Amino acid sequence: MERFDQIASRYRQTSLVQASAGAKLIELLDIPQSADILDVGCGTGNLTAELAKRTTGEVTGIDPSGEMVRVASEAFSNQRTSFVKMDAEGIAFREEFDIVYCNSAFQWFRNPARFLDNARTALRPGGRIGIQAPARHDYCPAFIAAIETCSENPEIGKVFSGFRPPWFFLETENEYRSLFEQAGFRVLFCTIEESRSLRTPQQAFDVFCSGARAGYLDPACYNGEWPEGFEAAFLDGIHQAFERQADNDGMIDLMFHRIFIVAER
């Protein structure tokens, strides 16, 4: 998965908002002491390592990005923690885990329903799945405003008009709940939250680069031409747009709509 290979080296430093939402998801899951855990879309493994602190069982992180898996393995592989290159749609475990954890990755899945079927099969009876992901088309108003500002530049706007988002967002808690129920889960907790933090323009840019960038700068997401220099011009435009969004104290209110779901097999 090339789009994530490119951001793997800096992901641990830039994934500020994923880390805080991921910590909250760990709390919500109330992990049993010896649970075996599958971390789907584990990235560089920061949260996989946190999960390993909560159990005496085995923790497996999977991710389709070879670079993410390499960085995670180098930092966190040990007797109880391992990382495998595998995508959510290709999970082939059967009743091997007590917990399936999936933080800030679900929105990227090409086939969320297939993932949920796979996750259910991978769980032991009574096992739990916990997912946190950005939700709603206006998942982060500051990002959307920055894209709009950036697209006012005619050169960027022309290319950007061919952009087809790779993300999967639902608009309501009920839609998320139904998806899980259709896969045979009993939903225990389901809420879309507004999670806010004050960030400098540079931090907002780093957060943008830790996730959204991988979609906005994937040539496969564009119908039309992809001229040389587009990536640099686009990133420069986003950076400047964040500078302009800062308030008198130099800060941006970075708000994400986030779905948190915990469900039981």
Footprint on residues 2-31 left by ligand SAM (CB under 6 A): 4, 15, 18, 22
C-alpha 63/C-alpha 79 separation (Å) is 19
Which region among 26-34, 106-114, 153-161, 195-203 touches ligand SAM (by CB under 6 A)? 106-114
* CA proximity to 222, closest of 140, 161, 146, 138: 161
The one among 103, 151, 203, 245 contacting ligand SAM by CB under 6 A? 103
Nearer to ligand SAM, 47 or 150 (CB): 47
Is 1 a binding residue for ligand SAM by CB under 6 A? The answer is yes
Q: Cα torsion at 69, 25, 130, 66 (round to 10°)?
A: -10
Residue from the set 63, 98, 206, 218 that interacts with ligand SAM by CB under 6 A? 63
Q: How far is the CB of 256 from ligand SAM (least distance, A)?
A: 12
Q: Does 41 bind ligand SAM (CB under 6 A)?
A: yes
Under the criterion CB under 6 A, does residue 216 sit at the interface with ligand SAM?
no
User: How far apart, in Å, do the first and last CA atoms of the chain sit?
Assistant: 29
Which range touches ligand SAM (CB under 6 A), out of 38-46, 142-150, 152-160, 241-249? 38-46
Positive or negative, the Cα torsion across 190, 111, 167, 26?
positive
Does position 201 bind ligand SAM by CB under 6 A? no
Candidate segments 27-35, 98-106, 193-201, 240-248, binder of ligand SAM by CB under 6 A? 98-106
Q: Residue 252 is encoded by which pair of tokens?
A: 């941006």
Out of 17, 59, 81, 87, the only residue in the binding site for ligand SAM (CB under 6 A) is 87
Q: Does 83 bind ligand SAM (CB under 6 A)?
A: no
Tokens of 69: 């898996």
Nearer to ligand SAM, 2 or 236 (CB): 2
Question: Is 108 one of the binding residues for ligand SAM (CB under 6 A)?
Answer: yes
The CA distances from residue 60 to 80, 109, 130, 260, 265, in Å, are 8, 19, 15, 21, 19
Q: Which of 26, 29, 31, 46 binds ligand SAM (CB under 6 A)?
A: 46
CA distance 96 to 123: 6
Point out the residue whose Cβ comes nearest to ligand SAM: 43
Residue 37 sits in the site that holds ligand SAM (CB under 6 A) = no
CB of 33 to ligand SAM, least distance (A): 23
Position among 29, 40, 49, 207 found at the interface with ligand SAM (CB under 6 A): 40
For residue 224, give Cα distances in angstroms to 108, 159, 161, 164: 22, 7, 8, 10
Closest C-alpha to 145, from 12, 244, 260, 236: 244
Question: In whole angstroms, what is the distance from residue 213 CA to residue 147 CA?
Answer: 11
The site for ligand SAM, by CB under 6 A, has a size of: 25
Token pair for residue 97? 């885990």
Q: Give the Cα separation of 36 and 77 in Å (integer).
A: 15
